[in-house]
Structure 1
Amino acid sequence: MGSRERFAVFRERDFSVFFVGYVTSNLGTSMASVALSFAVLHNGGSPTDLSLVLAARIVPMVLFLLGGGVLGDRLPRRLVMLTADAVRALSQGTLAVLFLAGPVPLWTVLALAACGGLGEALFRPSFDGLVPQIASKDRLPEANALLGMAQSAAAVGGPAVAGVMVAVTSAAAVLLVDALSYLVSIGALLLLRVGDRGRGLGGGSLPAELRAGWRTFSAHTWLWTVTLQFTLFNLIVWAPYLVLGPVSADRSYGGPEAWGLIVGTFGGGSLLGGLVLLGRRPSRPLVVTTLVTFLWAAPSAALAVRAPLWAVCAAALAAGVSSAVFNSLWMTTIQQHVPADSLSRVMSYVTLGAYSIGPVGLALAGPLAEATSIGLVLAVGVGWQIAANFLVLMSPAVRNLRAPNSGPAEGIATDPAHSAGSTTSAT
């Protein structure tokens, strides 16, 4: 595919409009994650208070994610996303105003942070289902790659911009910018010409809708296999890395500057991976995703053996590239092989798997490292990632799944109520 064709999806009006709003709101969210931490600490909060505030956002997101998936399949997805952005804009704007006015009670910060998590639970499943509606089928891979690159760029640039703004103005001012960024996203969603059709909520109860979504999810062997792998990856590999990486940087590489360099290099790798993937359509996408995710263990391996800082950064760069390739191909594969009317519910199960037990890994990594050693805990994660990837590659459902128009593929159910009978074809 030529260089111009790789960006041809921008010629599609709805995608271009949505992309602007998505980039803006992601940049604001990345800035707010830094600003909220400093706002709590400058408000007289302790590290324990900060932990509670961060958890207050994650817990409701996990609890309401499946419900958000049901709404995304039964109501117009744009309407659900507009509601979610309005909730997040209101919660962040209120936080900003309160912090500007003076000290804020902890319970108020926790409640508003929880509202933000609720908004995320509503937004994400509908977003995953909306992308195939705003990008044509033949340009869907590039659409996912570009959206992934936008998220990576925000993750790199947002904290840096926020750090400067907090120093020059205040943390509350950055939170206000985040609230305004959601208004840009709302404007972009309102400008979309995508049809606002939904099946409505009268067809069944919430448990029935969830069971139907679960049948669709569990009927595709490749889908639950990779989701399970990703769930355990967050528990055993990534959570310990996020906790013990900063500790290693502090003890062995000179402090927070080194950790910032490592994290920034990972973000740069994500951008590079998105560029590398643009215009490429592997015929067996899950084979490619499994092969590249061997590199996810590279940063943990480098830290475990106390490699030089340049080697740790190189490992983080490789992991960032693999992350971008995985995320783009994984999302495209799901969107191409899962029925559109079940997509939000299925993605809510996938996302729930990613978040469900990761906090357990965060809580256990520190105590386990103190009882043994940082190197041992990280090395266990490396060993697990290598073994898990080989196990996934042994699955015929993963090896044989092909991209559309590239050969025999899995049969796709057209209605979630009948999808329990579909099976993965070994070709």
Structure 2
Amino acid sequence: MNLTPHRRPAYRDATVLRWLTAYALSLIGDAVFMVALGFAAQEVAGPAQVGMVMAAGAVPRALLMLGGGVVADRFGPGKVVIGSDTVRCVIVVGIAAALTLASPGLWLLVAAAVLFGVVDALFLPAVGALPPRLAAMDQIGRIQGLRLLAIRTSWIVGPPLGGLAMAYGGAAAALAAAGLLFALSVPLLMTLRLRSLPTDAQPSSTTPHSARGELVDGLRYIRRHPVIGPLMVSGAMSELGTNGLLSVGLMLLSQHQGWGPSGYGWILGAFGLGQAGCATFLAVKGRVPRAGLVQNMMLVAGSTAVGALAFMPTLSAAMGMALLSGLLCGMCGGLAIALIQTSAEPRYLGRVTSAMSITGVGLTPLSLPLFGAAIDAWGAQPVFVVGAGLSVLGAVPALSSTAVRRAQLPRLPGRGDTGQPAAVSAQS
């Protein structure tokens, strides 16, 4: 007789769905906050100052991200997620109140952006370290698919919602709406029942006690890990090569080709639709055989498709190529994150997640002006080829590792293995 209880897939698990809802609310709140912050800055300053306000939060977020991973590992990601999301709510509501009661200067908006960036440096590593505590390891692929869906949803819903709030009540109303979204996410996070991981009950006598020691220990662990290290290098090269192409590169390409802002929007929409389709596939399928090898094949194919965007003769052809790029890049990213999270020791999850995020939120934004200047000097096609080539080269460190080529996502447990460690509260 099989005594193993039926394992619900992640998309039917109540804990995962509560986390997903809270995560989506926070992401939409982020998008609304950025819209409100930009328009609030525009009301009191010129274009250069608007850019300064919008970028102010990126600097502390990039500088403190690795430290945020140390905090998540030391105090537990559940506590850090709840605390940081609460503080984000307070910051945003406080700025909304200030805009309602007075006409604050530019300094207040800059301070708000900086504070928000500091708290984000805690929130992002912690929320990224939660998936292994939400369900068994064999469900991580599905959870990453659901996470990608939440991200795509926030990009679709957030900016229009922020614009609508701005139209009816100005920046104060938009900030209040962002604060409400954060406020709704916090109770959901507090109700989560997180799984206990193997090292939770083990003493940490072998772990350095100082924050600096823990940070160095985490970086050393990442560098020496046969799967995580190569995938980190691969992901960094891919993001540096393609993110600039998919933002400022596509914007300038659309202008040059005569497709205009609407064409740019349609191309980005097609790319997002491809990523959403891939996210749905991962959420339902959960496990892809030979994930390490497939991830790198998707990296090469997806990077090539992104580079090919500059050679599309018509808007419809560019949309088709963008759709294909979104599918391939979505599969590549989803599998990479799932492989890293299932390979990492639980006590390093926060630091691993923060290192994973540092390229996207720290290095990539700094590269955007370089892409713009290069396209202005040499045209879109050569820059798209070089950027895509850098991303393709990201497969070299990964495929050079036998461990990555053979990496697999966990299988479903066999008979008699429930795969369900004891649950603990979200505050752990």
Offset of residue 158 of structure 1:
1.8
Question: For the Cα contact (< 8 Å) 2:142–2:287, is it kept in 1?
Answer: no
- Give the whole-Å Cα distance in 2 for the aligned partners of 1:236 and 1:304: 14
Residue in structure 1 matched with residue 100 of structure 2 by the alignment? 100
Residue in structure 2 matched with residue 228 of structure 1 by the alignment? 233
Unaligned runs of 5+ in 2: 1-5, 413-428
What is the CA deviation profile of residues 50-100 of structure 1, one whole-angstrom value per residue up to 9, with x for unaligned ones?
221222111111111111111111103211111211221122222223333
Residue in structure 1 matched with residue 376 of structure 2 by the alignment? 370
Deviates more, 1:237-246 or 1:75-84: 237-246
The question of 1:348 aligning with 2:354 is answered: yes
Question: For the Cα contact (< 8 Å) 1:6–1:142, is it kept in 2?
Answer: no
Question: For the Cα contact (< 8 Å) 1:70–1:344, is it kept in 2?
Answer: yes
- Give the whole-Å Cα distance in 2 for the aligned partners of 1:131 and 1:300: 29
The question of 1:328 aligning with 2:334 is answered: yes
- Give the whole-Å Cα distance in 2 for the aligned partners of 1:233 and 1:121: 22
- Give the whole-Å Cα distance in 2 for the aligned partners of 1:244 and 1:156: 21
Residue in structure 2 matched with residue 415 of structure 1 by the alignment? none
Residue in structure 1 matched with residue 273 of structure 2 by the alignment? 268
What is the CA deviation profile of residues 193-250 of structure 1, one whole-angstrom value per residue up to 9, with x for unaligned ones?
3379797999611111112111221121332222222222333332244112112222
Residue in structure 1 matched with residue 219 of structure 2 by the alignment? 214
The question of 1:120 aligning with 2:117 is answered: no
Offset of residue 121 of structure 1:
0.9
Residue in structure 2 matched with residue 40 of structure 1 by the alignment? 41
Q: Which has the higher contact order (CA 8 A, sep 6+)?
A: 2
Matches within 5 A, 1:155-304: 155-194=155-194, 204-277=209-282, 278-297=284-303, 300-304=306-310
Residue in structure 1 matched with residue 25 of structure 2 by the alignment? 24
- Give the whole-Å Cα distance in 2 for the aligned partners of 1:67 and 1:390: 29
Question: For the Cα contact (< 8 Å) 1:297–1:382, is it kept in 2?
Answer: yes
In 2 relative to 1, CA 108–346 (structure 1 residues): closer, same or farther, beyond 3 Å? same
In 2 relative to 1, CA 295–184 (structure 1 residues): closer, same or farther, beyond 3 Å? farther
Deviates more, 1:158-167 or 1:147-156: 158-167
- TM-score w.r.t. length of structure 2: 0.85
Residue in structure 1 matched with residue 422 of structure 2 by the alignment? none
The question of 1:311 aligning with 2:311 is answered: no
Question: For the Cα contact (< 8 Å) 1:245–1:259, is it kept in 2?
Answer: yes
What is the CA deviation profile of residues 148-202 of structure 1, one whole-angstrom value per residue up to 9, with x for unaligned ones?
2111111122223333333344233222111111111111121123379797999
- Give the whole-Å Cα distance in 1 for the aligned partners of 2:171 and 2:149: 26
Question: For the Cα contact (< 8 Å) 1:287–1:399, is it kept in 2?
Answer: yes
- Give the whole-Å Cα distance in 2 for the aligned partners of 1:232 and 1:373: 22
Deviates more, 1:372-381 or 1:231-240: 231-240
Aligned letter for 2:261?
Answer: P
Question: For the Cα contact (< 8 Å) 2:306–2:325, is it kept in 1?
Answer: no
Offset of residue 338 of structure 1:
0.8
Residue in structure 2 matched with residue 360 of structure 1 by the alignment? 366
Residue in structure 2 matched with residue 388 of structure 1 by the alignment? 394
Question: For the Cα contact (< 8 Å) 1:145–1:274, is it kept in 2?
Answer: yes
Matched pairs, number: 401
Q: Secondary structure at the match of 1:117?
A: helix
Question: For the Cα contact (< 8 Å) 1:228–1:353, is it kept in 2?
Answer: no
What is the CA deviation profile of residues 246-288 of structure 1, one whole-angstrom value per residue up to 9, with x for unaligned ones?
1222232332111111222222112111112222412321211
Residue in structure 2 matched with residue 417 of structure 1 by the alignment? none
Question: For the Cα contact (< 8 Å) 2:84–2:122, is it kept in 1?
Answer: yes
Q: Secondary structure at the match of 1:194?
A: strand
Deviates more, 1:221-230 or 1:94-103: 94-103
Question: For the Cα contact (< 8 Å) 1:241–1:378, is it kept in 2?
Answer: no
Residue in structure 2 matched with residue 401 of structure 1 by the alignment? 407
Aligned letter for 1:321?
Answer: L
What is the CA deviation profile of residues 266-318 of structure 1, one whole-angstrom value per residue up to 9, with x for unaligned ones?
22112111112222412321211211123443564344225311121122222
Deviates more, 1:105-114 or 1:186-195: 186-195
Deviates more, 1:292-301 or 1:50-59: 292-301
Question: For the Cα contact (< 8 Å) 1:213–1:342, is it kept in 2?
Answer: yes
- Give the whole-Å Cα distance in 2 for the aligned partners of 1:205 and 1:363: 37
Aligned letter for 2:86?
Answer: A
Q: Equivalent pairs: percent with the same residue?
A: 27
Aligned letter for 1:124?
Answer: L
- Give the whole-Å Cα distance in 2 for the aligned partners of 1:360 and 1:250: 22
Q: CA RMSD in A?
A: 2.6
Offset of residue 396 of structure 1:
2.1
- Give the whole-Å Cα distance in 2 for the aligned partners of 1:218 and 1:209: 14
Residue in structure 2 matched with residue 63 of structure 1 by the alignment? 63
Q: Secondary structure at the match of 1:173?
A: helix
Residue in structure 2 matched with residue 139 of structure 1 by the alignment? 139
Aligned letter for 1:228?
Answer: V
Offset of residue 391 of structure 1:
5.7
- Give the whole-Å Cα distance in 1 for the aligned partners of 2:168 and 2:7: 39
- Give the whole-Å Cα distance in 1 for the aligned partners of 2:148 and 2:100: 34
Question: For the Cα contact (< 8 Å) 2:53–2:109, is it kept in 1?
Answer: yes
Aligned letter for 1:386?
Answer: V
Residue in structure 1 matched with residue 419 of structure 2 by the alignment? none
- Give the whole-Å Cα distance in 1 for the aligned partners of 2:76 and 2:277: 34
- Give the whole-Å Cα distance in 2 for the aligned partners of 1:50 and 1:299: 34
Residue in structure 2 matched with residue 416 of structure 1 by the alignment? none
Could you list the structure 1 runs, at least 4 aligned residues long, displaced by more than 4 angstroms after superposition: 195-203
